[in-house]
Structure 1
Amino acid sequence: MTLEPGTADIIQLAWARRLGLDDAAFTAARESGERITRADESARAVQFVRLFGSSALVGPQWALDAAVGIPDEDMAQHVTLLTITRNHGGHGLGAAALFFADDLPLLQPSEELTVSHGNPEAVELEGLCPPDDVNEVGLSDLEHRFTIMHREDGRTVPVACGAYTEWEGILAHMGVLVAPGWRRRGLGSLAASIAAHEALASGLTLQWRADVSNKGSLATARSLGFATGGIQTSVLLD
């Protein structure tokens, strides 16, 4: 699906605030064609974000200086940030594709579902999943959780969770986690659809972030109807 006119501006506003920039920073960058930079000497990470053709780099001044002259296409590569931060212990995080939606088709389940809004069910689901998946999704950081439950062997167990948290009162930053034994059954898309429509009903624009190497998450975003909006590349500093 395509975004409505003006949605990109709303998304860039949310990210400008998230990165500590002026509200009009991305608009000015679009007009000038120049990269936005903000020096933050207390930053524990260096972040490069490219949204709808405009880019921003936030980190200590030495990182901004090291990035001068490096094209955005290269800055979007995780290896580039690792290289320029090598002497400052740059490590971890990576490159993530950013997807957005201001409307989505509503997926209908093939059978009646039980959906929990509770935290214990989401925590139990995390215990069923590999740590790498748990860390990437970060359900514990997502305030609104919608966990699909399934009854088996006389007890009800969590099988998938779609969740979101508000960014700057504008974006619904989403995440989806599915128990390993229940994957490839459409439950991730269904859980995401439930959370997405709750967020849309609250007047939020949807954001989906997926590691560029996570083919499953990338495919889910596209199948749901999210539109590609940019990339976020980050490294942690010692």
Structure 2
Amino acid sequence: MQLDPGTEDIVLLAWARLLGFGDEAFAAAGGRLVRIDDDAAVLTFVRLFGHSALVGPEWAVEGAAAYADAELAEYHTLLQLSRARGGHGLGKAYLSFADDLPTAQPSEDIVISTAPEEAARLEALCPPDDNNEVGLSNMDKTFVLLHGTEPVAGAGYEEWEAILGHLSVLTAPAYRRRGIGTLLAAIAGHEALGAGLIPQWRAHEDNTASRATARSLGFVEAGTQTSVYLPARP
């Protein structure tokens, strides 16, 4: 499965804006884009559709010049590059996008709540690490499946640059491995498409289940985002 070339161009436009470049930066670039931000709280390297960009302090940009794109995309490279400056946390994630998504077809009648408090109730049932990665209650739109009065799974999207609908999915531990998260992701993805957004999926490189869910829904892996936190300058 491939994305429409027009979708690729729009995604690159969105990420150019997210990273602080001009709208045509990726189209005009003959090589790696770099932007020096000495106050950056995160050192970020992105690869998308054969393009690449690095944003971070001057010392990081200078140090990164010795590495190929494939090396910078690896988490251990950014850690090595930033260790002396206190770099830590985050990691490498795969970025996927979709032109369309399959219609969600639940096998029985279901109850979906869009009330923000239901997303918070679902998070109370899930491990903190999952909540931190997903951030469901911070999404612009959320869709939570209720079993009686109990929230069991939810998905939502956050609008990025009025172009991307960044999706997240969270399922209570007792209800995992039943396909519920995939159903909710399809619902949220269709809502994002209906709002004129391109659905985006981001999965940590170690989260094989999340990547598999994205593929099952028709998302196409288009690149990576690799980042490390940087301590605030004194």
* TM range, smaller chain: over 0.9
Cα distance in structure 1, aligned partners of 2:224 and 2:179: 26
Q: Which amino acid aligns with 1:17?
A: R
Q: Which amino acid aligns with 1:184?
A: R
Show CA shifts across 1:193-213 (max 9, x none).
110001101111010000000
- The correspondence for 1:132, drawn from 124, 129, 132, is 129
Cα distance in structure 2, aligned partners of 1:70 and 1:190: 41
Matched, 1:219 2:219: no
Q: What SS does the corresponding residue of 2:165 show, helix, strand or coil?
A: strand
Shift of 1:98: 0.3
Q: Which amino acid aligns with 2:217?
A: L
Shift of 1:139: 1.1
TM-score normalised by the chain length of structure 1? 0.96
Matched, 1:109 2:124: no
Shift of 1:105: 1.0
Q: Which amino acid aligns with 2:209?
A: G
Shift of 1:107: 2.1
- The correspondence for 1:51, drawn from 29, 44, 48, is 48
Question: In structure 2, what is the equivalent of residue 23 of structure 1?
Answer: 23
Cα distance in structure 2, aligned partners of 1:23 and 1:42: 22
- The correspondence for 2:186, drawn from 178, 193, 209, is 193
Q: What SS does the corresponding residue of 1:26 show, helix, strand or coil?
A: helix
Shift of 1:5: 2.4
Q: What SS does the corresponding residue of 1:43 show, helix, strand or coil?
A: coil
Show CA shifts across 1:147-177 (max 9, x none).
01112xxxx1011101001000000001000
Shift of 1:121: 0.7
Gaps of 5+ in 1: none
Instruction: Give me the identity figure in percent.
Output: 57
- The correspondence for 1:70, drawn from 62, 67, 74, is 67
Matched, 1:175 2:145: no
Cα distance in structure 2, aligned partners of 1:140 and 1:90: 28
TM-score normalised by the chain length of structure 2? 0.97
Matched, 1:14 2:7: no
Question: In structure 1, what is the equivalent of residue 202 of structure 2?
Answer: 209
Shift of 1:2: 2.3
Cα distance in structure 2, aligned partners of 1:141 and 1:37: 30
Cα distance in structure 1, aligned partners of 2:45 and 2:137: 25
Cα distance in structure 2, aligned partners of 1:28 and 1:222: 31
Shift of 1:141: 2.5
Shift of 1:140: 2.8
Extract structure 1 runs of 4+ deviating beyond 4 A: none
Shift of 1:69: 2.4
- Aligned-residue Cα RMSD (Å) equals 0.8
Gaps of 5+ in 2: none
Q: What SS does the corresponding residue of 1:193 show, helix, strand or coil?
A: helix
